[in-house]
Amino acid sequence: MKKVILHPLSIIVIVILIFLSKIDLVIYSLIFVILHEYTHYLVAKAYGYHLNKMYLMPYGGVIVGEETWQNTDAFFIAIAGPIFNIVITIIVVALWWIFPSIYCITYNIAKINLVLALTNLLPFYPLDGARIILSLSKNKIKTLKLLKTLGILGSLIFIVLFIITIFYKINITLAIMGICLFVGATSQFKNATLIQAVTNIDLLKDYSRALQRKELLIYINSPLYKLLRSLDDKHIFTVELVDSNGKTVCILENEDLIKLCSYPDKKALLSTIIKLF
Spans of all domains in the chain: 3-198, 204-276
3-state secondary structure of 110: helix
pLDDT score of 2: 57
pLDDT score of 58: 60
Burial classification of residue 35, based on how many CB atoms lie within 10 Å of its CB (0-12 exposed, 13-18 middle, 19 or more buried): middle
Sequence-distant (≥ 6) Cβ neighbours of residue 263 within 8 angstroms: 224, 273
Question: What are the pLDDT tens digits along the chain (277 aa)?
Answer: 556 666 666 677 777 767 766 677 778 777 888 888 889 888 888 877 766 667 676 666 666 555 556 667 788 888 999 999 999 999 999 999 999 889 988 998 999 899 889 989 999 988 889 889 988 887 777 788 888 899 899 999 999 998 999 888 877 778 878 887 887 777 644 444 444 444 445 545 556 667 788 899 999 999 887 887 777 666 788 899 998 888 999 898 877 887 777 777 777 888 888 877 6
pLDDT score of 195: 45
Please state the pTM of the whole predicted model: 0.67
Over the Cα atoms of the chain, what is R_g? 22
Q: Which CATH superfamily is domain 204-276 in?
A: CBS-domain (3.10.580.10)
Chain length of the chain:
277
pLDDT score of 198: 47
pLDDT score of 114: 93
pLDDT score of 164: 92
pLDDT score of 38: 86
Dihedral through CA 4, CA 20, CA 151, CA 183, nearest 10? -50
